Structure 1
Amino acid sequence: MARKALILVEGASNMLLYVQAAQRLGLHPIILSADPVRYDYLAAEGIEAIRADTDNLDALIGECSRLRATYGIAGITSATESFYATVGKLCRHFDLPGPNPASIERCCDKFTQRQLLAEAGIAIPAYCLAVNAADVESCAAEIGLPVVLKPAVGIGSIGVRLCHNVDELIKHTAYLLGGKHIWRSSSPRILVEEFIQGPYYAADIMGNEVIGIGAGDFGPPPHFVFRQFTYPALLTDEEHNRIADVSSSCLRTLGLGWGPTNIEFRCTRGGPVVIEVNPRMAGTPDPQLVRLAYGVDLITEHIKLVIGDPWDLCRRHSHTAAARFLVADRDGTLDWIGGDSRAAAIPGVAEVELYVKPKTPVVRKGDYRDWIGHVIVASASHAQTQATLQRAVDLVDWSITPFPTLGE
Structure 2
Amino acid sequence: MNAPTPLPQLTPASSSDTTAHLGTARALLLVGTLRTGTSLAFVDAALARGFDVTIVTAPDDIPAGVFPPQARIVALPPDFDTVLAWIDAHYPQVRPLIVTTNEKYARLASRLSEALGLPGPDAAKVAHYIAKSNQKRLFDEAGIRTPSSRIAALSELQQWQRQRQTGGGDLPFPIVVKPVEGLSSFGVALCADASALQAYLNEHLNAFAGQRGDDETVLIEQFVAGPEYCVEFFDGAYVGAMLKRKAKGTRFIERGYSSDLELDDASLAALIDAGRRAVAASGLTWGPVHLDCIVHDGEPYIVELNARIAGSFICTIVKDAYGFDIVGALLDRLEGRTVTLPGTFRPHRYARVDFLLDDDPPLWAFSGSGRLHDDNLSVTYGAQVIPGRERRAFIYTHHHTPARHP
Match of 1:100 in 2: 122
What corresponds to 2:158 in structure 1? Answer: 134
Per-residue deviation, residues 138-177 of structure 1 (Å, max 9, x unmatched)? 6854111111111111012111111112221221122233
Gaps of 5+ in 2: 1-22, 402-406
Q: List aligned pairs for 1:113-192, cutoff 5 A.
A: 113-132=135-154, 133-134=157-158, 136-137=160-161, 141-177=169-205, 179=206, 183-186=210-213, 187-192=215-220
What is the CA distance between 1:40 and its match in structure 2? 3.4
Q: Hey, what does 1:53 align to over in structure 2?
A: 77
Summarize the Cα distance change of 1:163–1:73 in structure 2 as closer, same or farther, 3 Å threshold: same
Deviates more, 1:229-238 or 1:6-15: 229-238
Q: Does the residue aligned with 2:64 lie in a helix, a strand or coil?
A: helix
Percent identical pairs in the alignment equals 22
- How high is the TM-score relative to the length of structure 2? 0.82
2:391 to 361, 371, 387: 371
1:283 aligns to what SS in structure 2? coil
Shift of 1:370: 0.9
Aligned partner of 2:248 among 220, 228, 231: 220
Q: Whose relative contact order is higher, 1 or 2, with alpha carbons under 8 Å and at least 6 apart?
A: 2
Contact persistence 2:107–2:123 (CA under 8 A): yes
Provide the residue aligned with 1:326 in structure 2.
356
- Give the partner amino acid of 1:349: S
Query: Does the 8 Å contact 1:325/1:372 carry over to 2?
Result: yes
The residue correspondences of 1:4-403 to structure 2 (distance < 5 A) are 4-12=26-34, 13=36, 14-35=38-59, 38-41=62-65, 44-54=68-78, 56-69=79-92, 72-132=94-154, 133-134=157-158, 136-137=160-161, 141-177=169-205, 179=206, 183-186=210-213, 187-231=215-259, 233-269=261-297, 271-314=299-342, 318-329=348-359, 337-338=365-366, 344-345=371-372, 347=374, 348-356=377-385, 369-379=389-399
Would the aligned equivalents of 2:24 and 2:52 in 1 still touch at CA under 8 Å? Answer: no
- Unpaired runs of 5+ in structure 1? 357-361, 382-408
Quick one: which amino acid aligns to residue 114 of structure 1? K
- Indicate conservation of the 8 Å contact 1:136/1:192, yes or no: no
1:400 is aligned to none
Question: How far, CA to CA, are the matches of 1:25 and 1:102 in structure 2?
Answer: 30
Q: Matched residue pairs, number?
A: 366
1:191–1:354: structure 2 CA closer, same or farther, 3 Å change rule?
same
Cα deviation per residue 1:261-313 (whole Å; 9 max; x = unaligned)?
A: 11111112261011111111111210111111123221121121122222244
CA deviation after TM superposition for structure 1 residue 180, in Å: 5.7
Helix, strand or coil at the partner of 1:375: strand
Helix, strand or coil at the partner of 2:327:
helix
Q: Return the offset for 1:135.
A: 5.0
AA at the equivalent of 1:325: F
The residue identity in structure 1 corresponding to 2:74 is I
Cα gap change, 1:135/1:22 in structure 2, threshold over 3 Å: closer, same or farther?
Answer: farther
User: Any conservation in 1 of the 2:320–2:400 contact (CA below 8 Å)?
Assistant: no
Instruction: Quote the Cα distance in structure 1 between the aligned partners of 2:61 and 2:394.
Output: 24
Give the distance between the partners of 1:21 and 1:117, measured in 2 at CA. 34
Which shifted more, 24-33 or 149-158? 24-33
The 1:73–1:157 alpha-carbon spacing in structure 2 relative to 1, beyond 3 Å, is same
Q: Relative to 1, partners in 2 of residues 1:98 and 1:378: Cα closer, same or farther, differing over 3 Å?
A: same
Query: In the alignment, residue 371 of structure 1 is paired with which amino acid?
Result: R
After superposition, the Cα gap between the structure-2 partners of 1:37 and 1:88, relative to the gap in structure 1 and judged at 3 Å, is closer
CA displacement, residues 109-136 of structure 1 (integer Å, 9 cap, x when unaligned): 0112111211221111110111122254
The residue matched to 2:62 in structure 1 has which SS? Answer: helix
C-alpha distance in 1, partners of 2:226/2:365? Answer: 34
Matched letter for residue 35 of structure 1: P
Q: 1:37 to 1:100 in 2, by over 3 A?
A: closer
8 Å CA contact 2:259, 2:317 repeated in 1: yes
1:375 to partner: Cα distance: 0.6
CA distance in 2, matches of 1:11, 1:209: 25
